Amino acid sequence: MTPPNPPRTDARRHHDPETRGFASDNYAGAHPEILAALALANGGHQIAYGEDDYTAHLQQVIRGHFGATAEAFPVFNGTGANVTALQALTDRWGAVICADTAHINVDECGAPERVGGLKLLTVPTPDGKLTPELIDREAYGWDDEHRAMPQVVSITQNTELGTVYTPEEIRAICEHAHGLGMKVHLDGSRIANAAASLDVPMRTFTNRVGVDVLSLGGTKNGALFGEAVVVLNPDAVRHMKHLRKLSMQLASKMRFVSVQLEALLAKDLWLRNARHANEMAQRLAEGVRAVDGVEILHPVQANAVFARLPHDVSERLQQRYRFYFWDEAAGDVRWMCSFDTSADDVDSFIAALKEEMAAR
């Protein structure tokens, strides 16, 4: 991807581009086609703050995926997408029902509460997935002013535990939520992996089944940075542009966010990247299952593998490959595959795992 006569820059390379691990899909860099897209969009002047030609074109691409009423609002990152979306779907007195493992609950430093004044009503789940029954644990009290009013159900697809909702499961959630007067938000920071896993278009489990607003992920799918709030049900929101700006998610040179999403979504880069990551996770899971003493914890349906193994083995393995404990007390770890994970990476990792297990 590097041109033969690279343009000069005063920056220097500080890392080894051959080193890869299993810590997170955002440890990866950008897909080369993304960098090419940035170069395409560069040069000349384009209106700032979203009135550029790339953002205009992105709307066509998004409508191709999510139907004629969909509109994309590019933002910087996933937390920004989620909090902008949830503010759009709530009043000042609103609350959001979500799984207690939801990214909005555990990984955003309270941004939903602090920036949006949102109350989260959390529900424990076995696998990161809400159901109508689980929603009902918090879906009540709309007339009770002492209670933050449940106005949104927020689900994550695929979930933070690597599991994937079927379209039917999401449809049931949407019908239930809508029947109770609530809206549905889908945190799709890894939506591409879910679509690849289900082998269906993204619309099949979003607008087609009733999701109102979507946080569409780009970063973990191979972009440099960049996500979008995608409004699927225009009647559910107002003044998205103001909300994006006050949430500090308005890029001035937005063409560079939009063209990355175009590069991903215009054809199949989003799907190629996601399928590859998912396949590597399957390869990894298969290899791990063959190792005695290591237990796979959740169904491996996307690009994450959760496993339980002896703590000392994890620690030695972490000296060779970077990855995270999910629940250190229990000995649970998370291994993530990304668009640039190679089969060799996986095989070497499994070999290392075997060595460390054998060294006990």
Binding positions for a second copy, 248-277, rule CB under 8 A:
248-253, 255-257, 259-260, 262-263, 266-269
Could you say whether residue 1 binds a second copy (CB under 8 A)? yes
Shortest reach from residue 76's CB to a second copy, in Å: 4
**What amino acid is encoded at 278 in this protein?**
N
Could you say whether residue 52 binds a second copy (CB under 8 A)? yes
Site for a second copy (CB under 8 A): which residue of 86, 102, 115, 313? Answer: 115
Can you tell me whether residue 142 is helix, strand or coil? coil
Q: In this structure, are residues 272 and 266 in contact, taking their beta carbons and an 8 Å threshold?
A: no
> How deeply is 156 buried, as exposed, middle or buried, from its count of CB atoms within 10 A (0-12, 13-18, 19+)?
buried
Place of tokens 């007195």: 93
Could you say whether residue 71 binds a second copy (CB under 8 A)? no
> Phi, psi at residue 98, to the nearest 5°?
-150, 165
Shortest reach from residue 102's CB to a second copy, in Å: 13
Shortest reach from residue 182's CB to a second copy, in Å: 15
**Positions in 28-47 near a second copy (CB under 8 A):** 28-30, 32-47
Which of residues 205 and 303 has its CB atom nearest to a second copy in the complex? 303
Which of residues 57 and 171 has its CB atom nearest to a second copy in the complex? 57
Stretch that binds a second copy, among 21-29, 173-181, 281-289, 300-308 (CB under 8 A): 21-29
Task: Tell me the C-alpha distance between 233 and 208, whole Å.
Answer: 11
Could you say whether residue 10 binds a second copy (CB under 8 A)? yes
Could you say whether residue 57 binds a second copy (CB under 8 A)? yes
Could you say whether residue 326 binds a second copy (CB under 8 A)? no
Shortest reach from residue 232's CB to a second copy, in Å: 21
343 beta partners: none
Task: Tell me the C-alpha distance between 3 and 205, whole Å.
Answer: 40
Shortest reach from residue 325's CB to a second copy, in Å: 11
Which of residues 108 and 212 has its CB atom nearest to a second copy in the complex? 108
Which of residues 237 and 313 has its CB atom nearest to a second copy in the complex? 237
Q: In this structure, are residues 156 and 173 in contact, taking their beta carbons and an 8 Å threshold?
A: no
Site for a second copy (CB under 8 A): which residue of 150, 182, 212, 245? Answer: 245
Alpha helix stretches (DSSP H) within the chain: 32-41, 53-66, 78-88, 103-106, 111-116, 132-136, 167-179, 191-198, 240-246, 255-265, 269-289, 311-318, 343-358
Task: Tell me the C-alpha distance between 279 and 346, whole Å.
Answer: 11
Can you tell me whether residue 155 is helix, strand or coil? strand
Name, in order, each residue with C-beta under 8 angstroms of 242's C-beta and a sequence gap of 6 or more: none
Could you say whether residue 348 binds a second copy (CB under 8 A)? no
Task: Tell me the C-alpha distance between 281 and 4, whole Å.
Answer: 34
Shortest reach from residue 19's CB to a second copy, in Å: 5
Shortest reach from residue 37's CB to a second copy, in Å: 4
Shortest reach from residue 166's CB to a second copy, in Å: 28
Which of residues 269 and 274 has its CB atom nearest to a second copy in the complex? 269
Site for a second copy (CB under 8 A): which residue of 64, 71, 132, 147? Answer: 147
Site size toward a second copy (CB under 8 A) is 113
Shortest reach from residue 5's CB to a second copy, in Å: 7
Q: In this structure, are residues 310 and 257 in contact, taking their beta carbons and an 8 Å threshold?
A: no
Cis preceding-peptide flag for 221 (omega within 30 of 0): no
Site for a second copy (CB under 8 A): which residue of 23, 180, 291, 296? Answer: 23
Q: In this structure, are residues 25 and 220 in contact, taking their beta carbons and an 8 Å threshold?
A: yes
Can you tell me whether residue 308 is helix, strand or coil? strand
**Positions in 181-200 near a second copy (CB under 8 A):** none
